[in-house]
A and B are shown apart, each in its own frame.
Chain A
Amino acid sequence: MINKISDEILLSVEKPSRYTGNEWNSVKKDISDIKIRFAFCFPDVYEVGMSHLGMKILYHLINKRDDAYCERVFAPWVDMEAKMREKNIPLFTLETKSPVKDFDILGFTLQYEMCYTNILNVLDLSGIPALSSDRTNEHPFVCAGGPCAYNPEPLAEFMDFFVLGEGEEVLNDILDAYSLWKDQSASREDFLDRISKIEGVYVPSFYDIKYKEDGTIEKFIPKKKDYPQVIKKRIIKDLDNTFFPEEIIVPFTDIVHDRVMLELFRGCIRGCRFCQAGFIYRPVRERSTEKLSDTAKKLIDSSGYDEISLTSLSTSDYTNLPDLTDKLIEEMEKRKVNLSLPSLRIDSFSLDLMEKAQKVRKSGLTFAPEAGTQRLRDVINKGVTEEDLIKSATLAFSGGWSGVKLYFMMGLPTETMEDVEGIADLGNKVVDAYMSVPKEKRGKGLNITISTSFFVPKPFTPFQWEPQDSIEAFTEKQKALKSRIKNKYISYNWHDSKLSLLEAVFARGDRRLCKVLLKAWEKGCKFDAWGEHFKFDDWMEAFLENGVDVHFYANRKRSYDEILPWDHIDIGVSKDFFIKEMEKAKAEELTPNCRMGCSGCGAAFFEGGVCIE
């Protein structure tokens, strides 16, 4: 335990509860009885990290073991970091205030690319060498999992190993192997060797990458014959019979998602061609209604939360939604618990449901048409028509709603100015839909917000070969749209194109980005996703100084036969399927969703969920 975190320090920083732990349902164990100490780090501030469902699941999963103790670590906010550096306080876990350096394993969850500098900062604050090659038996093993781990290469030199796919089973396999290894006091490499044989584990230092003269990859080479050539992700076949915590930590201070999260299913049947989540979590697997309502009850009992949120990539696609929500509303109303329903497709059922479930004002509804014209929506396989949208909006306005948010992406493959202008036109049509509803029926104060983000091509999507628009093109498109939005009821927000550029670089990056990342961190880059801390110019210098060209990664069109940095990772969806989907995109053809018919993506290999229904 560190005896340095004084009240003087805590009183001088914002939100001291970020650092004090001891929350309800946080796990307390006697560390003298513990063989494996696991530090789980979400590399962002407490309020963001504590909102993450995956961490909640894995925290309690590990803590079910008698031989292991999982403790939490977050990135300290800049004020706390300054104090820690001034007073020489190493980064500590919330549970026992132990230095992270003393742990056996330090695991990061990678939810977005723009947290990568925070990882280096966390390692530095912990006194753990950034490069895995510099670590010895005195240091913890450093690993990472989560969606960004599917392209692990930009972090390859910093991680001892990656965990690909869902952690519920593979983590226990790794901890079992660690327990055995620890008894034998063998070498660090020996442990990595052992776990490299566990399906879902990738040890980057066991592989060499050879590049061609043009900078593309020539070969991915295992250093030994028995290292797997392809690393396959792990999934849980049957979600009903896998671990889901029945208690969750209840923070003392507001966090971003301060409620019970009930995970309805994993994956998404839709297959929107830009969406990585729609492919990496395949196949779609649901939890049963009985299991869900039972878990919901237990979680409210153990947490005391006043809100429960149904989470999934697309709530409306849960097969038994009416039955589930009826059960939940009945149970939760008694206990003054609100049901919140994100990711709902707006139709008469969902509007009715929202009215029943949420005793809040009819404020805002969100639609995500993603593109401004039908042509482009067909390209991205977003199965929404203008007619659908206008019908839903009209229905909502007639039901008293008056605020609508419309989400779009700019820079999607094949996009023209016509598509960009279509965004404004669609906004106008939603205004018309409002005006078409009689005054006495519609809510007062129409307020439409159009938000555009810039398209970031992601690995494991049909668009993984596509170039991202240049910053200039983004700016031009965004200005064009702004000038076309003249309606006083519509306001327009857009994302930072510079951040989107960096995201594109790291999303599809390779190992050569490790040194850039290290350089950027040395220049003081951290909390890049927090607007006020994003230092684009320092980033550009870091690229320049390492002779790495951002455009090579962000704005270059790849050919189908190029070896991609993530080609040795197998998510179950085949490259052939992605090529077929890309070709269909060009032809503006739709692909039916997984429930309408199987398109043979390859995920049926896992023999789970929708593939075997």
Chain B
Amino acid sequence: MNSIRVKFVRGEEVKYISHLDMMKLFERAARRSNLSISYSQGFNPHPNMVFGLPLSVGVTSESEYADFELSYFMEPHEFLKQFNSNLPDGLKIIDAMEKNTKANIMATIAVADYIVLVSSDKTYNMDHINVVISNIMSKDQILVSKESKKGKKDVDIRPMIHSIKAIMTDDLDNSSDAGDINNENLIINPFMLNYIKGLYKYEPGILSYNVKNLFCISAKLSAGSKSNLKPELLISAFNLLSDMELNLVKVHRTGLYIERESRILDPMSQDALS
């Protein structure tokens, strides 16, 4: 009997699965793998597994986490191997570690990294975008209207923005992307890079935006149950505080971190697991 934390990737093929369906998928994959995940007691037993932070429909991620309680002992690498052979294309566990703390992943998530692909009304150069970013970061307060089940309300998102940076997509049309790969202002994340290349292949008239007017924003934002900022709201702040008109094209999560005794930790680090 042990607990295992896994880190997994959610790719393009499975990005439309809702959080609830994703949990169902993992339960079924576990049954296919004959992995003995323990079940809760009671009238309606459910598997003891906890996921980090739900992903919105359409969002991909290279760092998702989930904790599983097992009913008998299993080596994490064996768990990973068996699980992976029963996951559909697009889902892959890339790391598994034994977890020795009671603290579960969901309760401790505090920060998330995103790369957000946006389309703009026209082509802006890097300097222009950086001025907007400095402006955003210099504010003490940014009130953005947020829609919830109870209705609209203004929230101050400034404290939830830890850092933001603009990244250009360059001209992927030329497919000579190898040249400037060291340029730190160019997109190099393979997930996003592939995605953008895919956009260039669409037939004319299908996309509502011009692929030449795309750029990325990488952002570190508050995440989790205490305070959570979705990239959508960050983009609203851009539109609010600049002359640019940005539309969100795609969100890709690159990192999730937990907080423990005021320290921000990688969920797979020994400090996080013990």
Contacts and interface: CB of A to CB of B under 8 A. Distances in A.
Interface of A: 3-4, 6-11, 16-17, 20, 22-24, 87-88, 250, 252-254, 300-306, 335-337, 359-361
Contact of A253 (B17, B39, B203): B17
Nearest to B195: A7
Interface majority SS on A: helix, strand, loop or mixed?
A: loop
B180 interface: no
B18 interface: yes
Contacts of A7: 58, 249-250
Query: Top 5 closest A-B pairs, CB basis?
Result: A304-B28, A304-B31, A304-B32, A16-B16, A22-B13
A294 to B, nearest CB: 17
Interface stretch (B150-158, B204-212, B235-243): B204-212
B203 A4 contact: yes
A16 B28 contact: no
Interface of B: 13-14, 16-18, 21, 25, 27-32, 34, 39, 43-45, 47, 57-58, 86, 88-90, 201-203, 205-208, 249-250
A304 B18 contact: no
B45 A252 contact: no
A302 B201 CA distance: 36
B32 A253 contact: no
A20 B11 CA distance: 13
A6 B31 contact: no
B28 A306 contact: yes
Contacts of A9: 206
A253 B21 contact: yes
A304 B16 contact: no
Given A4-B203, A6-B207, A252-B16, A11 B86 contact: no
A302 B17 contact: no
Contact of B208 (A3, A8, A303): A8
B6 to A, nearest CB: 17
A4 B206 contact: yes
Contacts of B16: 10, 16-17, 20, 252
Contacts of A20: 13, 16
Contact of A302 (B32, B47, B249): B32
A358 B57 CA distance: 33
Contacts of A8: 206-208, 249
Contact of A304 (B86, B90, B206): B86
Interface of B, secondary structure class, is loop
A22 B14 contact: yes
A300 B47 CA distance: 17
Given A306-B27, A359-B44, A16 B88 contact: no
Given A10-B16, A11-B57, A303 B43 contact: no
A141 B152 CA distance: 54
Nearest to B20: A254
Contacts of A88: 205
A418 B18 CA distance: 52
Given A4-B202, A7-B250, A335 B31 contact: yes
The residue in A8, A17, A300, A336 that gathers the most chain B C-beta atoms within 10 A of its C-beta is: A8
Contacts of B32: 24, 301-304
A3 B57 contact: no
A8 B206 CA distance: 9
A601 B150 CA distance: 64
A305 B27 CA distance: 9
B88 A87 contact: no
A7 B206 CA distance: 10
Contacts of B13: 20, 22
Nearest to B89: A22
A588 B86 CA distance: 58
Nearest to A15: B16
Nearest to A12: B208
Contact of B29 (A10, A22, A304, A337): A304
A67 to B, nearest CB: 25
Contacts of A87: 205-206
Contacts of B43: 359, 361
- Chain B CB within 10 Å — which of A7, A22, A306 has the most? A7
Chain A CB count within 10 A is highest, among B13, B31, B43, for B31
Given A304-B31, A305-B28, A23 B206 contact: no
A6 B206 contact: yes
Contact of B57 (A6, A16, A300, A301): A16
B58 A252 contact: no
A90 to B, nearest CB: 12
Contacts of B28: 24, 250, 303-306
16 contacts: A4-B202, A8-B208, A10-B16, A11-B58, A17-B17, A20-B13, A22-B88, A22-B89, A24-B88, A253-B17, A304-B29, A306-B27, A335-B31, A336-B39, A336-B45, A359-B45
Contacts of B31: 300, 304-306, 335-337
B44 A304 contact: no
Contact of A254 (B21, B202, B206): B21
A6 B58 CA distance: 11
Nearest to A11: B58
A259 to B, nearest CB: 11
Contacts of B44: 359-360
B202 A3 contact: yes
